[in-house]
Structure 1
Amino acid sequence: MVTIKDIAARLQVSPSTVGRALADDPRISAATKQKVTQVADEMGYVANLAARMMRGVSSNLVGLVLPDIRNGFYATIAHALSKCLQSAGYQLALSETDDDRMVELQSVRELASANVAGIIIVPTAKPHRETVRLLKLSPHVQLLRKHAAIGDQWFGIDDTLAIFEATSHLVQLGHRRIGYIGGTDDLPTGSARLKGYHKALAGVASGEPALVQLGAPSEVDFGANATRRLLSLPKPPTAIVAGSVQMTQGILEELLAQGVRAPDDLSVVGFGDELGFRWWGPGLTTVGLPVHDLATACGLWFVHHVRQNSATASPYTSISPATLIVRGSTRKPGPPTKTSVRASLRGATA
């Protein structure tokens, strides 16, 4: 392995000069830095991360801690952040928690031990106090979800408005029995989206408890099972609103399995705009999320924050609006078709 001493010997300078040049020390001239970097590249030099850590020097890694990379929403965020950070000289290190606070703690510990430049996190519902302590030791920002204990730097979506507009669209079409399948209200996103649903129904439509199905937002199976329960009600809803990307997938799978057609038998509004959603049936009416713009804005702000070389920052909030994309899966409520009757009967006997 090529060392700093090897580079110094070739250039006939001291190892300390090479080390400072590679660390972009202001005491070293630009010409010397360029010459050292060129020779280091030619010789195949790779910086010793362990040695840098022992000297207390931060790496060029930025940790991204999120619940579930299988979710296209989070995958898009990871991709956009990676590109944004690469252009600034940083590399993204990805950790997946599956919304488990102990896995989250282990991920943050490992990132902290590697002296990462900072951490971008989609926190779990109840982060461990040690997680909170470790995050406060380095630059960090919350993405999508906001937990008060972690800090006041947050980039998110107006979740309440997103579901309010989705539900209001159905109300304006004349629907009064509207089901909602979303994440549990112990998560800030779940709570905000449920608030938007109830706000849209206030004074105009039924908000009976049986029409609301709450579960883990990353569970496709929950979306399918919740749809089955709603369709088996004595008076099933005439429309359903989804509160997460993967629950939307579960809803669509169950409707297909039961032969329920949208919008003839049931109007559906999804969450997120995965590539397949626009091709599903007549095209899915859905909440479009500003994923790429949100991630890029977060990345640019974070790079600036890291370069300030401070673990703390002034409170900062950036809220991006979602957009309701109206396609063919919603219409005015009409009389049930033979297909919907058969679906309800199958659900009642399941």
Structure 2
Amino acid sequence: MVTIKDIAARLQVSPSTVGRALADDPRISGATKKKVTEVANEMGYVANLAARMMRGISSNLVGLVLPDIRNGFYSTIAHALSTCLQGAGLQLTLSETEDDRMVELHHIRELISANVAGIIIVPTAKPHRDTVRMLKMSPHVQLIRRHAAIGDQWFGIDDTQAIYEATNHLVQLGHRRIGYVGGIDELPTGAARLQGFHKALPRGAKLGSALVQLGAPGSADFGREAARHLLSLAAPPTAIVAGSVQITQGVLEELMAQGVRAPDDISVVGFGDELGFRWWGPGLTTVGLPVSDLATSCGLWFVHQIKQNSFTSAPYTSISPATLIVRGSTRPFVAASKERAGAPLRGAAA
């Protein structure tokens, strides 16, 4: 294995000069750093992470802690961040929590012990106090979800406005009995989206609790179960709004399984614009999310803070707006009601 001493011998300089050059020490000139890097690459030098950690030097790793990479929403974020960080000489390392606070704690502990350059986190609903404590030991930023205990540096989406626009679209089409299937309101995103749903309803509108179904935002199974419940009601909704990507997938699967057609039998507004959503039935009306742009903005800001060594506790918030994409899965209530008056939904329990 090639060592710093080998590189120093080739260049006829001291090992300390090589070490400082590779660590981007400001005491070393740019020309020397360039020459050391070129020779190190030519000789196949690989930095000894353990040795760097013993010297207290941060690695070039940035931890991304998120709920579930199988969700296209989060895989897009991971890809955009990886591309952004790679351009700055940093490498993304991925940790999945499945929204389990103890798993989250384990990952944060391991990342901190590896002297990562920083952590980008989509936190769980109730992070462990030790998770909060350890995050303060490393540069970090929250993405999508925000918890005050973790800090005030956050990149997110205007979740309230996103679901408001989705629900208001149905209200403007004449729908009044609208079902909502979203994430638990213990999560900041879940609470904000539920707020947007209620905000869009006409003044004085009273919805029974059966029309609002809250559960795990990353569970398509919950989406299916919630849709099944809504369709089985004696007075089912004339429209459904979904509050997450995975929930949307579950709702659509249940509608297809029961032979319920959109928009003939029911109008549907999804969340996120996965490729398959565009081709589902008549095309899914959905909330388009600026996921890639959001992640890239977060990554660029994060890199700047690390390179400038300027991380502080000063609040920083960046909120990106969502966009309602209207396709064929929604239509006016009056047109639909003429066909459905007095009849249960196709495939629904009588």
The TM-score, its normalising length taken from structure 1, stands at 0.96
1:246 counterpart residue number: 246
2:80 counterpart residue number: 80
SS in 1 for 2:175: coil
- The CA RMSD over aligned residues, in Å, is 1.7
SS in 2 for 1:185: coil
1:61 counterpart residue number: 61
1:44 counterpart residue number: 44
Amino acid of the structure 1 residue aligned with 2:249: Q
Question: In the TM superposition, what is the alpha-carbon distance from 1:13 to its structure 2 partner?
Answer: 1.8
- Structure 2 vs 1, CA of residues 270 and 205 (structure 1 numbering), >3 Å: closer, same or farther? same
Distance 1:307 1:314 in 2: 17
Amino acid of the structure 1 residue aligned with 2:223: G
Amino acid of the structure 2 residue aligned with 1:125: A
Asked if the contact 1:201–1:207 (Cα under 8 Å) also holds between the matched residues in 2, the reply is no
Distance 1:95 1:11 in 2: 40
2:332 counterpart residue number: 332
Question: In the TM superposition, what is the alpha-carbon distance from 1:337 to its structure 2 partner?
Answer: 4.6
SS in 1 for 2:64: strand
SS in 2 for 1:167: helix
1:116 counterpart residue number: 116
Distance 1:214 1:185 in 2: 7
Distance 2:289 2:204 in 1: 27
2:148 counterpart residue number: 148
Which deviations, in whole Å up to 9, do the C-alpha atoms of 1:220-245 show, x marking residues without a partner?
Answer: 01101110100110000000000000
Identical amino acids, percent of aligned pairs: 79
Amino acid of the structure 2 residue aligned with 1:256: M
Question: In the TM superposition, what is the alpha-carbon distance from 1:348 to its structure 2 partner?
Answer: 2.3
Asked if the contact 1:229–1:347 (Cα under 8 Å) also holds between the matched residues in 2, the reply is no
Higher alpha-carbon deviation: 60-69 or 36-45: 36-45
Amino acid of the structure 2 residue aligned with 1:17: T
Asked if the contact 2:151–2:313 (Cα under 8 Å) also holds between the matched residues in 1, the reply is no
Question: In the TM superposition, what is the alpha-carbon distance from 1:207 to its structure 2 partner?
Answer: 2.0
Asked if the contact 1:155–1:294 (Cα under 8 Å) also holds between the matched residues in 2, the reply is yes
Distance 2:26 2:234 in 1: 75
Asked if the contact 1:283–1:328 (Cα under 8 Å) also holds between the matched residues in 2, the reply is yes
Structure 1, gaps ≥5 residues long? none
Question: In the TM superposition, what is the alpha-carbon distance from 1:313 to its structure 2 partner?
Answer: 3.3
User: 1:348 and 2:349 equivalent?
Assistant: yes
1:185 counterpart residue number: 185
2:221 counterpart residue number: 221
Amino acid of the structure 1 residue aligned with 2:134: L
Distance 1:162 1:38 in 2: 49
Distance 2:299 2:313 in 1: 15
Asked if the contact 1:277–1:283 (Cα under 8 Å) also holds between the matched residues in 2, the reply is yes
User: 1:212 and 2:229 equivalent?
Assistant: no
Higher alpha-carbon deviation: 300-309 or 265-274: 300-309
Question: In the TM superposition, what is the alpha-carbon distance from 1:310 to its structure 2 partner?
Answer: 4.9
Question: In the TM superposition, what is the alpha-carbon distance from 1:23 to its structure 2 partner?
Answer: 1.5
1:203 counterpart residue number: 203
Question: In the TM superposition, what is the alpha-carbon distance from 1:312 to its structure 2 partner?
Answer: 2.8
Amino acid of the structure 2 residue aligned with 1:62: V
Question: In the TM superposition, what is the alpha-carbon distance from 1:31 to its structure 2 partner?
Answer: 2.6
1:131 counterpart residue number: 131
Question: In the TM superposition, what is the alpha-carbon distance from 1:336 to its structure 2 partner?
Answer: 6.3
2:314 counterpart residue number: 314
SS in 2 for 1:218: coil
Which deviations, in whole Å up to 9, do the C-alpha atoms of 1:181-216 show, x marking residues without a partner?
Answer: 000100000000000111111416442211000000
SS in 1 for 2:156: strand
Asked if the contact 1:262–1:268 (Cα under 8 Å) also holds between the matched residues in 2, the reply is yes
Asked if the contact 1:138–1:311 (Cα under 8 Å) also holds between the matched residues in 2, the reply is no
2:287 counterpart residue number: 287
1:265 counterpart residue number: 265
SS in 2 for 1:318: strand
2:107 counterpart residue number: 107
Question: In the TM superposition, what is the alpha-carbon distance from 1:26 to its structure 2 partner?
Answer: 2.4
2:169 counterpart residue number: 169
SS in 2 for 1:63: strand
Question: In the TM superposition, what is the alpha-carbon distance from 1:343 to its structure 2 partner?
Answer: 4.5
SS in 2 for 1:115: coil
Distance 2:303 2:103 in 1: 26
SS in 2 for 1:68: coil
